[in-house]
Amino acid sequence: MFHDYNQYGKLYIILIKSINKRFQFYWDQYEEKHTETQFMDDKDHEVNLNELAKIYPILYTIFDPISKEHNSLALQKSPSSDQIEKCINSDPEQIQFIINPTVKEQRLAVEARAATIQYIKTPDITIQFLVVEDDPINIGYIVNPAEAVQIKALKLSTNIIQTFKSINSPTKKVINYYNQLVYDYLKKTDQYDNDVKY
């Protein structure tokens, strides 16, 4: 497997002796502006770089220059706002490597690709609204959507059942709102039966 990756880009193997663990970090610049990155453990499972770097901060020292060379935010200790913008413009998923992205950085990523909101730990409410206004089903990409955003997604949806199923942890108010929407729809279309509980 090493040769498969190494022939297309640089593959780095890190051995952490104290825990006898190996990690592989791979960068492949496949176009002038785009870089593919993979960060895996010895079982070929994806690694959360932010969590790993918290435990082993030396990784920043080792990989900061390599990340910059590959136009990647992965393991850059303190990227400039210009570097962040450049990297997100080339690949919006790079937002995942920013621990606390600004609202501007969040907007830049989700305007390019709405699904990248899933990589933002605590997206600003304005960014949440932006994503569901683009397509209500995008609510499923938000880990903890605000209650007002959940309701907005249902209001905008042409398929409220699918949208409701996409909401992570709907609040009681949202569940009641959804039930009312379903009830109103069934009443309007004469499909409601008073003897049946929905």
- Could you report the per-residue pLDDT of 19-37, keeping only the tens digit for each? 888 888 877 655 555 556 7
Give yes or no for a contact between 125 and 146, defined as CB atoms under 8 angstroms apart: yes
Whole-number Cα distances in Å, 87 to 22, 35, 62, 104: 27, 9, 19, 14
Q: Output the pLDDT for position 198.
A: 45
Mean pLDDT for the chain?
Answer: 85
Six-digit token string for 85 = 């913008």
The more confident residue out of 85 and 19 is 85
Output the six-digit token pair for 171: 């609040």
User: Quick check: 6 pLDDT over 60?
Assistant: no
Of 84, 83, 97, the residue nearest 37 (C-alpha)? 97
Here the contacts of 118-126 (C-beta below 8 Å, separation 24 or greater) are 118/142, 118/143, 119/93, 119/95, 120/95, 120/96, 125/149
Residue 106 confidence class, pLDDT cut points 50, 70, 90? very high
| Confidence label for 125 from pLDDT (cuts 50, 70 and 90) | very high
Q: For the ranges 41-50, 134-143, 187-196, which has the lowest average pLDDT?
A: 187-196
Distances in Å between the alpha carbon of 187 and those of 8, 180, 182? 60, 10, 9
Q: What is the pLDDT of residue 130?
A: 98
User: Sheet holding 10-16: strands in order across?
Assistant: 10-16, 21-29, 35-41
Task: List Cβ neighbours of 32 (8 Å cut-off, separation of 6 or more).
Answer: none
Kindly state the DSSP code that residue 74 receives in the 8-state scheme: T
